[in-house]
Chain A
Amino acid sequence: MEKMNIKPLDKIGAGTAVRIVTIEAGSGLKNRLAAMGLLADVQIRVVRNDGAGQIIINVKSSKVILGRGMSHKVFVVEI
């Protein structure tokens, strides 16, 4: 059921809370993201997404800018 709704993060509108399902990236990048609190099962909220360019998300108590390409590799489900 849930699998149906998995979307890349860049398709999520501002103000939406989501949970990270998986990040499809190499080990180095995944590690970097993990160090900033971004890894599977973490809940985040999209703060800014203009449909182009970088997006801003809220993770734990911090705000993080993600490049568009980057955010395309983060797969999430809405909660």
Chain B
Amino acid sequence: MASSKPIQKLTVALAGNPNSGKTTVFNGLTGARHRVANYPGVTVEKKEGSFRYREYELNVVDLPGTYSLTAYSTEELVARHFIFESHPDVVVDVLDASNIERNLYLATQLMEMQVPLVLAFNMSDVAEGRGLKFDLAQLEKLLGAQIVPMVASKRKGVDELLEAIVETATQAHTNVLTLHYGHEIEEELSKIEKLLRGQERVFPEKYPIRWVALKLLEGDAEVRDWIKEASVRQQVEASRQHLKVVLGDHADIAIAGRRYGFISGACQETIKDTVQSRHDISDLIDTVLTNRYLGLPIFTVLMFAVFYSTFKVGQYPMGWLEGFFGWLGAAIYNSWPQDTLLALRSLVVDGVIGGVGGVVIFLPNILLLFLGIAILEDTGYMARAAFVMDRIMHKIGLHGKSFIPMLIGFGCSVPAIMATRILENRRNRLATMLVIPLMSCGARIAIYALFVAAFFPPHLRGPMMLLIYFIGIVLAIVCIQILRKTILKGETVPFVMELPPYRMPTFKGLSIHMWDRGWVYLKKAGTVILMISIVLWAAISYPKPAAQRLAGLDELQQQSIALQSSVAGHIGKAIEPALKPLGFDWKIGTALIGASMAKEVFVSQLSIIYSLGDSEEGLEALQGHLQEDYTPLQGFCVMLFCLISAPCIATVAIMRRESGAWKWAAFQYFGLTALAYILTLAVYQTGRLFLG
């Protein structure tokens, strides 16, 4: 046996500000070998990747990008919990070297946590270009951590970072640097520390006492709740009051000021700014892209490009996939041994292959959409888009960025709901997700086209289509207003956001981003969609009608009878009394049940009920039948109901995945259906009064 050293496992946590290039560093370290999951109990995404380096097995965990480690946001809590509870062997703080002072603020808080720290000075080429010169050796001494200059987008410094990680992890780190906050604060800190030391440990073992004392002084909500002891609480209150008087500001802000003081002290000695004026190219681009008059047209063009590529370019691969699954289904159908296990054949061909096809068919859309979004985000444009759109979106109570998923919703709700990830605020995000199905998706065009053509003269068809789209948009705005004032109440978060500098996206970064989303979709949503498809397949296929009912009928008539005797047909008939006030009969009811699989199925279900095929002539004949059976008012009501009611199962599945809870998916499903019912009822009943 080779006498190689045993493999040693090291856990590395990657911390850093948003826009510091943390993700690029993560990708540079782990390559494509990573897993995406959620941190337990929250919907914050956790990326993790393992690989061998020398005799070590490194497990790198990407912490959420944050500016600090307070208890104010879920992301920050997640990051600090991970550091304390899983105590990684090394924490790597990724910093944007061209904006070092602000980025070091997070580093000071990591120092306070007394963890083995490595500082990755990313984008050191940009910093150099700006004329910044670092005395790294001196800075390392002042900050008590190894510093590795990097250009992660060009893979520069990755090996050096790995070396520094291993070195820091294997050293016994005894010389932890302690930040000092000045005489007044230190005095109060030591009073609290003393009290805490005298106590039994009432707070979790892994948290250092000085850190707990500091957080108490800062009024940290989480840490405060650990301490029940009255004497400690009184001391903390007294100290905070005292500091407020002597320092003239809240203790936490005073402490923040001290941290910056420490940083600027350290930087003054070690960083030389050799260039005086720095009107960089970024400023120039901004004056154009966020221009009062040009901003909106530029945004519109870029959005159109994303939308166009998602749905127009996407239709080619979608066509191939459709063809492939059609071919596969037909091949199995034809090669199936005659008259054996026909039920199984139907399950495999219609249920499984149909279901898998229905899942995979969206993949090109999702990949293209997320490629587009990744480009907009990685270049830094997304933040500008938010700025440009904010004035309009603000009026309807949403963030500027909400515009993007809502626009995507006109193509398909599934990628649109996934796209709400660009919204940081959870309430905002939920409100946007909930109304997205009101944006008429591509699948509903099939329904509108049929009904508009059947019931309205040519000159009214265009306006009718527009009216339906418009109703959806207005309802979405109204619903958002209501949601934001009721269950998703909360301040329209005082808005602060960093405008990241413009950057050239890397091919690797874009493709990783794209595949991550695609994979999440296939794995998490796909399985649910597949399961429900099979259930729905069974509902429209069983029970089979008795053989004598089919005698003497042609194949199309047989299909119609089969659908009528299925569970779906029975439900359609059973709910007829409930649908009657809306002007619907059992035929519409049965088609609606099928439409919950995918909206466009509504049309093919109707064709089957009328014993017509799916062909071109079949559709025309269907229009004739509809004209015979229904009035234009009823036709309009069907369109209205299909616009608002029950999102398709793919939407339900992705809603559950993205909101993190079935309750939101159910709320959306039943809420929209109830809304559809009430509005259609009102329109039909009022309409009847006027139209007789």
Binding site for B on A (CB under 8 A): 25, 27-42, 47-48, 50, 52-54, 56, 59-67, 69-70, 73
Contact = CB atoms under 8 A, between A and B. Distances in A.
23 contacts: A29-B494, A30-B252, A31-B70, A31-B72, A31-B256, A32-B67, A35-B70, A40-B249, A42-B260, A47-B283, A53-B394, A54-B387, A54-B390, A60-B99, A61-B98, A61-B130, A62-B102, A63-B498, A63-B499, A64-B498, A66-B495, A70-B494, A70-B496
Contacts of A73: 494
A48 B253 contact: no
B256 A62 contact: no
B101 interface: yes
Contacts of A54: 387, 390-391, 495
Given A54-B495, A65-B497, A70-B495, A48 B101 contact: no
B250 A39 contact: no
A59 B102 contact: yes
Question: Which 8 residue pairs of A and B lie closest in terms of their CB atoms, listed nearest first?
Answer: A67-B495, A35-B68, A35-B67, A63-B499, A34-B256, A61-B99, A53-B391, A37-B102
A32 B73 CA distance: 10
A36 B73 CA distance: 14
Contact of B72 (A32, A38, A56): A32
B105 A35 contact: yes
A35 to B, nearest CB: 4
B67 A28 contact: no
Contacts of B286: 47, 56, 63
Main secondary structure of the interface of B (DSSP, over half): helix
A75 to B, nearest CB: 13
Contacts of A27: 219, 250, 252-253
Interface residues of B, number: 38
Given A48-B290, A54-B495, A40 B72 contact: no
B249 to A, nearest CB: 7
Contacts of A47: 283, 286
Given A31-B70, A35-B105, A61-B101, A40 B499 contact: no
Contacts of B407: none
Contacts of A34: 68, 105, 253, 256-257, 260
Interface of B: 67-68, 70, 72, 98-102, 105-106, 130, 219, 249-250, 252-253, 256-257, 260, 282-283, 286, 290, 292, 383, 386-387, 390-391, 394, 494-499, 501
A47 B282 CA distance: 12
Report which residue of B98, B282, B387 has the largest number of chain A beta carbons within 10 angstroms of its beta carbon: B387
A40 B257 contact: yes
A65 B67 contact: no
Main secondary structure of the interface of A (DSSP, over half): mixed
Nearest to A33: B496
Given A50-B292, A61-B101, 10 more contacts: A25-B494, A27-B252, A30-B250, A34-B257, A35-B256, A39-B257, A41-B257, A47-B283, A56-B387, A65-B386
B298 to A, nearest CB: 15
A64 B497 contact: yes
Report which residue of B253, B387, B496, B501 has the largest number of chain A beta carbons within 10 angstroms of its beta carbon: B496
Contacts of B292: 50
A69 B501 CA distance: 25
A13 to B, nearest CB: 14
Given A34-B253, A52-B391, A61 B494 contact: no
Given A31-B252, A54-B390, A39 B498 contact: no
Contacts of A63: 282, 286, 498-499, 501
B387 A67 contact: no
Contact of B68 (A31, A42, A66, A67): A31
Contacts of A50: 292
Nearest to A36: B67
Contacts of B219: 27
Given A37-B101, A54-B390, A67 B494 contact: yes
Contacts of A41: 257
A70 B494 CA distance: 6
Contacts of A61: 98-102, 130
A46 to B, nearest CB: 13
Nearest to B97: A61
Given A31-B252, A65-B497, A66-B496, A53 B99 contact: no
A62 B18 CA distance: 12
Contacts of A31: 68, 70, 72, 252-253, 256
A61 B499 CA distance: 11
Nearest to B249: A40
